[in-house]
Amino acid sequence: MKVLHTADWHIGQIFHNYSREEEHKFFFDQLKFIIIKEKPDVLVVSGDVFHTATPTIVSQRLYYNFIVELSRLDADLQIVIISGNHDSPSRLEAPRPLWEAFNVSVVGMIDYQTVTDDGGLNFDASKIEIPITKDGGIIGWVLAVPYNDNVVKHASEFYEMLLSHLKSRDDYADNQCVVAAGHLAVKNADIRGHSADIIGKLETLDIQDFTEVKDVDYWAFGHIHYPQAIKGIENMRYAGSPFPISFNENYEHSVVSVNIENGKTESTVIPLKTLVPIIDFPSKPSSYDDALPYETVMMQLFEILDRKAYVRLHIQTEKPLTQVETTAIIQAFEGHEAMFCGIQSYFPEKAEGDDIQSVKTLRELKDMSPFELGCSVYHKKFDKEMPEELKKMFKEVCEEAEK
């Protein structure tokens, strides 16, 4: 059985106010040609199809058109799609009966799910077991497990249960391949590409949860955007995002072609081209001392303005940049191919006790109310206390929002 594995498309993402539509089309064109060349029996999309739970009409049209086009391209190609944490499970799954006509299986949610006294789960397994057929016979199965809190809490039990259920089926045979798809974070995976605030929220699973589950030929994971064989285990992979979703994802993106034959799994990473690169300009400094001052950056800016790229600037500065300085930067980009995506300022290190502008830890930030945070940002930006009048208004807004 041949599988093409991809994940984390994030259709509809707006990146610093810029639409990614052209990049998705560019990726879809590449994927189409890869499918023509590789001729997989099944395409597995391991979650985060859309960037938001309420994708726009444009995003939905892009997705529907592409999947239908793939299906028309090769009527024998099966497509299995699971939801990720970014997707709306019910929205993704709503057209499920229609998709079946196109050989597409979408699993957005696990049905009739309850947790039993011993921590086990009760659910409709048959919905998750997708048979892959060839010449009229079943050659393998995709266990299409969508993103789900209970699965994350009982992963090994869950996949064990799925496998034993699968094996109890009349149409299951030992020589059939088994691919387990999931959208979750495995501990010790390479989390390059995820910013610190996301890492804190990842509920991570031990790799033993999966290695101890026998008879799975390939684990097709989504969620971590850096493509990898997890801890070097060849048949346990994150396909990664198809192009950079954030500035941290400045690495080669890819899909995985997996060949399972006589109980052996071989996977090949197929690199993708990135239509619009991301540029840290000048290169990302490690500290204030490494960074270049405003005037120098402005002088050098012309070097990259005519390249179609997302640009983030890094500037060494004593004080926060003024409105005039920031506006001058934004104006420099106008009428050029390069797209301005913000400025990272590098301030000189403060002596201890000089804590007004000190960087707060994530925990400290989480403990602050929106009101406190707002006051602190004001203080940092204008170097003085927020005026009482403004404080009063801001407090009212915060209270209203909390309600």
Residue 48 CB, nearest distance to Mn ion (Å)? 4
- Measured from the CB atom, is 147 or 294 closer to Mn ion? 147
Pattern 43-72, Mn ion, x by CB under 5 A? -----x------------------------
**Which residues inside 9-48 make contact with Mn ion, applying CB under 5 A?**
48
Residue 81 CB, nearest distance to Mn ion (Å)? 14
Residue 224 CB, nearest distance to Mn ion (Å)? 8
- Measured from the CB atom, is 227 or 374 closer to Mn ion? 227
Give percent helix, percent strand, percent coil of the chain, each to the nearest 5.
35, 25, 40
Ranges of beta strands (E only) in 28-134 are: 42-46, 78-82, 104-107, 114-115, 121-122, 129-134
Q: How many Cα atoms are found within 13 Å in the side-chain-facing hemisphere of 195? A: 7
Distance CA 366, CA 364 (A): 5
Structure tokens at 96: 């499920």
- Measured from the CB atom, is 48 or 249 closer to Mn ion? 48
- Measured from the CB atom, is 190 or 325 closer to Mn ion? 190
Distance CA 66, CA 50 (A): 13
8 lies in the binding site for Mn ion (CB under 5 A): yes
- Measured from the CB atom, is 11 or 339 closer to Mn ion? 11
Dump the DSSP string for 350-388: PPTT--TTPPPPHHHHHHS-HHHHHHHHHHHHHSSPPPH
Dump the DSSP string for 116-172: -TTS-EE--GGGTEEEEEETTEEEEEEEE----HHHHHTHHHHHHHHHHHHHTSTT-
Residue 83 CB, nearest distance to Mn ion (Å)? 11
For residue 175, give every residue at least 6 positions away whose Cβ sits within 8 Å of its Cβ, in sequence order, or none: none
87 lies in the binding site for Mn ion (CB under 5 A): no
The letter for the amino acid at 242 is P
**Residue with the shortest CB distance to Mn ion:** 48
- Measured from the CB atom, is 50 or 346 closer to Mn ion? 50
Pattern 148-167, Mn ion, x by CB under 5 A? --------------------
Which one of 7-15, 38-46, 134-142, 299-307 is the stretch in contact with Mn ion (CB under 5 A)? 7-15
Residue 155 CB, nearest distance to Mn ion (Å)? 18
Residue 288 CB, nearest distance to Mn ion (Å)? 33
- Measured from the CB atom, is 106 or 132 closer to Mn ion? 106
Q: Which residues bind Mn ion (CB under 5 A)?
A: 8, 48
